Amino acid sequence: MSHPSGNWADDTYELTAATAAAASSPAAPAATVAGGGGAAPAPAPAPAAGQQDAAAGMSVSSSPKPPAAPPSMADGSEMQEASGNDKDNDNDNDSAKVGKRVTAIDAETDRMARLFLGKENEEQAKRRLKIVQSNPNSHLSSAKTFHEMGLPPALLKGVQSLGFEKPSAIQEMALPMCLRRPPENLLAQAQSGSGKTAAFCLAGLCNVDTRLAMPQMLIVTPTRELAVQCVQETLLPMAKFMEPPLEVFSALKGTHPPREGIRAHVVVGTPGSVVAALDKRRLLLTHCATFVLDEADAMLEDSGDSTQHRNKCIQIKNRYLPRGQHQTLLFSATFPREVKEFGLQLAQSPVNEISLPDEQDLVLDVITQLWIDLRHTRQSRLELIQELYDVLEMGQSIIFCRTKKEADLINERLQAQGFTCSVLHGSLDGLDRDATMEQFRLGHNKVLLTTNVLSRGVDVPAVSLVVNYDMPTMGYSQDPDPDTYLHRIGRTGRFGRRGVAINLIQDDSTFRVMESIDRHFSPTGSMLRQASTDVEELEKIIVEESKKRVENRDLSSEPMSQN
């Protein structure tokens, strides 16, 4: 199979340009910066060791030249994303600029390894997946190695340079369908941490010809943090050998697209920022071959703040993309029935489908799920959290709260006890959010307080504990939200590793929400185990699971066999 030379991309939330080798390991070429269509920039001092620049308005290229200054964009054409309701349980529609990315070089190979799973886990995953082809007579094939996929040589070299050979289950099944000619659309569902991002990036990059300075791939994602992660953790390291260098423009709120228009090969961003660039005619999709919705269900649901995302995705698809000349890829861990039906209509025929038909298969069996009953005790949730963290020696943890005010309060209390913790929600500006997330990724902060802004897709491998301070509900109602619960606890147990999720139950209404979520995923028995309020007993459980994480590390972080 022959494909044009290409490179790849992921997602972010303002209009910023970034390109490939900036995130490569020490052996990779140094990064250079080019203005919006590859214009030659003036040289600038190299960044400090361990840093790479994803600053607003920059286009980072993978060619082996020293970094250069960003182009000047003083025309004031700042991207304005339609504002959503600034609710306390935020859905991430805030202003911001992209900050600098500090790369943990020692973790580079491990991060990439976690895109894929061990052989034993993959065999189980493949048995769970159901495939429905648009043409039942099409030959259903899977690729056991990346060699068999016919990837462009530079892209294959990028995978091999990280020492990997074997794709994960979702990649093995999805990529051959994505690479068919003529292209076919795909709606794909797989568990959290199974390598979905790498799958759609590989598929899209095979359609990119870097000799053509026009956007050829568009990736849309619901949140800023997920977008930044996609670019830095997946796209940039894998694209370091692409020639000519791949250029990626990240559509983030608050930045200035170049006057001459976006000329990067790949554009990534959130729905509002992408539409803003399209409306201003700073972005043209006439040559776009691949359209990706990452965490598609979060943007296609017709309720609450998601309706704004849905309308913008429809606008992008029906108004700006070339009709019948692009491939649509929808990926997520969850697809409620109504959303799936709409997604299949949006993608348009022919559409192939990969799904997890059994709800029980959505829940990762590597996560120990506990609940603690505080309904009949004098102990508050905050007191329990303070006592638990006072005795707990562990890696990192995320505490999910319903409101920003709660997250701020717990953060203040834990900091007063001397804990290295931080808070992240939509009221913070973009630079603060980027810096907070970076400090957490690098392990400088052990505890992260957040709202649902961080419930989807974000991967920090050292997270061994997730705490639901509040059970997830639909908006301000008491209706349970099983999908958000699944995405929340999926921040641990990543890529086959083990983790612990603790649900704090303070009243009868919260208990009913938990029961409903439990029945949703496990109708014949409970997936939850009640735990004592004794923090020493809790510590034993968490420590025991952490030991299993270490014992299972070789299996779960060796996704593909070595060359």
Q: Is 126 exposed, middle or buried (0-12, 13-18, 19+ CB in 10 A)?
A: middle
Report helix, strand or coil for 52.
strand
Ramachandran class of 365: left when φ > 0, alpha when ψ lies in -120 to 50, beta otherwise: alpha
Looking at the fold, whether 268 and 393 belong to one and the same domain comes out as no
pLDDT at residue number 134: 81
pLDDT at residue number 82: 41
CATH number at residue 131: 3.40.50.300
Among 83-92, 306-315, 536-545, name the one with the lowest average pLDDT. Answer: 83-92
Q: Is residue 52 part of a domain?
A: no
Looking at the fold, whether 280 and 344 belong to one and the same domain comes out as yes
Write out pLDDT tens, residues 387-445: 999 888 767 999 999 999 999 999 999 999 888 999 999 898 888 888 999 999 999 99
Nearest to 489 by CA among 523, 517, 526, 519: 517
DSSP letter, residue 548: H
Q: What distance in Å separates the CA atoms of residue 291 and residue 221, rounded to the nearest whole number?
A: 11
pLDDT at residue number 351: 93
| Among candidate residues 357, 381, 410, the one where a domain is terminated | 357
Residues contacting 511, CB < 8 A, separation 6+: 373, 375, 505
Q: What distance in Å separates the CA atoms of residue 39 and residue 355, rounded to the nearest whole number?
A: 43
pLDDT at residue number 549: 57
Q: What is the CA radius of gyration of the chain?
A: 22
Residue 385 φ then ψ, to 5°:
-60, -45
Handedness of CA 198, 200, 206, 207 (dihedral sign): negative
pLDDT at residue number 85: 38
Write out pLDDT tens, residues 459-486: 888 898 999 999 999 887 889 999 999 9
Write out pLDDT tens, residues 142-152: 778 898 888 99
Kindly tell me if the per-residue pLDDT of 288 is higher than 70: yes
Kindly tell me if the per-residue pLDDT of 165 is higher than 60: yes
Looking at the fold, whether 294 and 189 belong to one and the same domain comes out as yes
Whether the pTM exceeds 0.85: the reply is: no
Q: What distance in Å separates the CA atoms of residue 221 and residue 191, rounded to the nearest whole number?
A: 17
Looking at the fold, whether 368 and 495 belong to one and the same domain comes out as yes
Q: Is residue 533 part of a domain?
A: yes
pLDDT at residue number 40: 32
Write out pLDDT tens, residues 35-46: 333 333 333 333
Domain count of the chain?
A: 2
pLDDT at residue number 316: 97
Q: Is residue 93 part of a domain?
A: no
Looking at the fold, whether 191 and 283 belong to one and the same domain comes out as yes
Write out pLDDT tens, residues 220-230: 999 888 888 88
Residue 94 CA to its chain's centroid (Å)? 18
Write out pLDDT tens, residues 198-212: 999 999 999 999 999
Nearest to 420 by CA among 440, 403, 438, 400: 440
Report helix, strand or coil for 524.
coil
| Among candidate residues 341, 357, 373, the one where a domain is terminated | 357
pLDDT at residue number 225: 85
Determine the average pLDDT of the residues in 248-277: 88
Cβ atoms of residues 34 and 61 within 8 Å: yes
pLDDT at residue number 93: 40
Looking at the fold, whether 323 and 294 belong to one and the same domain comes out as yes
Pinpoint the alpha helices (H) of 330-380: 337-347
Q: What distance in Å separates the CA atoms of residue 367 and residue 54, rounded to the nearest whole number?
A: 34
Q: Taking the CB of residue 45, how many other CB atoms lie within 10 A of it? A: 9
Strands (E), 82-128: 101-102
> Is residue 556 within a helix (H) or strand (E), and if so which, with residue range?
helix 553-556
Looking at the fold, whether 207 and 298 belong to one and the same domain comes out as yes
Cβ atoms of residues 152 and 206 within 8 Å: yes
DSSP 370-415: EEEE-TTSS--HHHHHHHHHHH---SEEEEE-SSHHHHHHHHHHHH
Q: Is 35 exposed, middle or buried (0-12, 13-18, 19+ CB in 10 A)?
A: buried
Nearest to 525 by CA among 363, 400, 376, 337: 363
Among 102-116, 194-208, 332-346, name the one with the lowest average pLDDT. Answer: 102-116
Looking at the fold, whether 383 and 526 belong to one and the same domain comes out as yes
Orientation of helix 508-521 relative to helix 482-489, angle to 10°: 80
Domain that holds residue 417: 362-556
Kindly tell me if the per-residue pLDDT of 107 is higher than 50: no
% of the chain residues with pLDDT over 90: 44
| Among candidate residues 357, 378, 401, the one where a domain is terminated | 357
Q: Is residue 96 part of a domain?
A: no
As a whole number, the mean pLDDT across the chain is 77
Looking at the fold, whether 297 and 315 belong to one and the same domain comes out as yes
Structure tokens at 480: 């349970």
Determine the average pLDDT of the residues in 439-461: 88
Kindly tell me if the per-residue pLDDT of 495 is higher than 90: no
Looking at the fold, whether 369 and 337 belong to one and the same domain comes out as no
Determine the average pLDDT of the residues in 217-241: 87
Kindly tell me if the per-residue pLDDT of 563 is higher than 50: no
Kindly tell me if the per-residue pLDDT of 374 is higher than 90: yes
Q: Is residue 164 part of a domain?
A: yes
